[in-house]
Structure 1
Amino acid sequence: MQWDLAQPFTTRFVVAAEAIDHYRHVNNAEYLRYIEEVSWQHSNQLGLTMDDYERLDRALVVIRHEIDYLAPAFEGEELEMATWIVEYDQRFRVARRFQLIRVSDQKTLMRGYTYFACVALSNGRLRRLPEEFNTHYLPALVTENLTQASQK
């Protein structure tokens, strides 16, 4: 796959019938579900689960999504979604970048950014990122100027 950045965390899936809208392609809102799913899979792979978030009384809540829909996806197509942590200020904010590719022709269908703020689960107030988040997420930070092409 031709990923925009090096070291992607990826997951593959097949477009389900439920994802299709009245235009007969994947509904735009479905891409948000894909973003959430790959984000949690990546977090789990890095060693942070929902149980850890609850134990630490912290959450990373979305404060902004930016999505560029580049081409449609259709029922039955195999897609691969990549994510990277591209901003991590070690205080309150985290950002992820996303790229969705159709496997059959390797066409990029979507690119996105999601910005998160760290809050307490118990009251929703802004809180510092806990040290345990720093330990797991900071090593996964990818500098945006590192592309696969520059790695060759």
Structure 2
Amino acid sequence: MEWALPDPFVIDIRVADEAIDAYQHVNNSEYLRWVEQISWAHSVALGLSIERYRELDRAMVVHRHELDYLAPAFAGDELQLATWIVDCDERFSLTRRFQLVRVNDAKTLLYARTRFACVALSTGRPKRLPEEYRRIYGNAVIVE
């Protein structure tokens, strides 16, 4: 697969019938769900699970999503979704990029970018990134 950036974290997706909307292609909300799914999977792979978030009383919450839909996906399509952390300011935020590709023709269907802000789980108020987040997420940054 040809990825926009090197060394992606990748998940495989098979488009289920439930993902299809009235236009007979994947509903746009499904892409957003997949972006969230891979973000968590990557964080867990890096060692930051929801349990660890709770222990540290911190969460990375969405501040901004940007999704560029390039082509539709259909029921039964085999897809690969990649993510990269492209920025971690080591204070309050990190940014991920995403690329969704249909396997059978290597066509990119979506590019996306999400900016996350750090908050205290207990209050929902902005908080600085814990040292563990700065180290783990900071070491995973891929330069664009």
**Cα drift, residue 141 of structure 1:** 0.2
Counterpart in the other structure of 2:64: 64
For the residue of structure 1 that corresponds to 2:37, the secondary structure is: helix
**Cα drift, residue 135 of structure 1:** 2.0
Matches within 5 A, 1:10-89: 10-89=10-89
Distance 1:102 1:35 in 2: 15
TM-score normalised by the chain length of structure 1: 0.94
Counterpart in the other structure of 1:92: 92
- Percent identity of the aligned residues? 59
Matches within 5 A, 1:104-143: 104-143=104-143
**What is the aligned residue count?**
144
For the residue of structure 2 that corresponds to 1:55, the secondary structure is: helix
Distance 1:83 1:122 in 2: 28
For the residue of structure 2 that corresponds to 1:39, the secondary structure is: helix
**Cα drift, residue 138 of structure 1:** 1.0
Distance 1:119 1:16 in 2: 34
Distance 1:13 1:126 in 2: 33
For the residue of structure 1 that corresponds to 2:110, the secondary structure is: strand
TM-score normalised by the chain length of structure 2: 0.99
Distance 1:47 1:138 in 2: 13
**Unaligned 5+ runs, structure 2:** none
- Provide runs of 4+ in structure 1 moved above 2 Å: none
**Cα drift, residue 46 of structure 1:** 0.4
Counterpart in the other structure of 1:147: none
**Unaligned 5+ runs, structure 1:** 145-152
**Cα drift, residue 13 of structure 1:** 1.4
